[in-house]
Amino acid sequence: MKRERSNLYVLCENVSKKIKNNIILDNINLSLEQGMVHGFRGYNGSGKTMLLRAIGGLIKPSKGRIVVDNKIIGEDMPFPESVGILIEYPSFIPNYTGYKNLLFLAKINNKVNEDKIKETIRLVGLDPDDKRKYKKYSLGMKQRLGIAQAIMEEPSLLLLDEPTNALDEDGIELMVQIIRRLKSEGKTIIVTSHDRDFLERVTDNTYIISKGMVTNG
């Protein structure tokens, strides 16, 4: 299959998701370019989290197809080959430190070493030598660790669902800088938020999602 444009990275064609009698995603068509930050603004229950789940291969659409980097999700591959995901509230092993949690996750793919893990923890404003267990973390610290796990392997595609949840002003500013840095490295980023100001600061284009339908922002 050939891309419609050379820089097309994510393509959604007539994507719908129905659970019982509820339409969660309603005939969504999107063409998202590589190396850009694409924003989706909507309130809780609008469908934005489900859209990210579908793009990440975590749910299967009831109809339609999703193509990531020229491969059909659920047919050519179960998940995008290089993806980092932060969806809703992150969860980790309660009795592990933040560093030990990321080290545990890193062993799945063996793409990053201990130095890279520590560098990423510092990047999100945490201390890799902090001996506190995850269960002792504040909500903001938990969110920062969730961001770290999404970006530590330097994926080509990032799916960030409400990444500023529980972050204070300094944390939000840090998130803005991280997204800008990742874009400069050529990453394709899809970010959802109900915060218009945040999206305007980080995105190249913004869509509105409401009742499972997507329109231009």
Q: What is the mean pLDDT of residues 189-211?
A: 96
Average pLDDT of the residues in 136-165:
97
User: Given pLDDT bands bounded at 50, 70 and 90, which one contains residue 1?
Assistant: very low
Phi, psi of 132 (to 5 degrees): -65, 145
The pTM for the full model equals 0.94
User: Tokens representing 26?
Assistant: 């309603």
Q: What is the pLDDT of residues 21-51, one digit of tens each?
A: 999 999 999 999 999 999 999 988 899 999 9
Q: CA 135, CA 143: separation in Å to the nearest integer?
A: 13
Please give the mean pLDDT across all residues of the chain: 95
Confidence of residue 6 (pLDDT cuts 50, 70, 90): low
**Cα atoms in the 13 Å half-sphere on the side-chain side of 81:** 10
State the average pLDDT over residues 12-22: 95
CA angle centred on 56, ends 67 and 84, rounded to 5°? 120
pLDDT at 90: 86
pLDDT (tens digit, 9 = 90+) per residue, 97-121?
999 999 999 999 999 999 999 999 9
For the cut 50, the answer to whether the pLDDT of residue 4 exceeds it is no
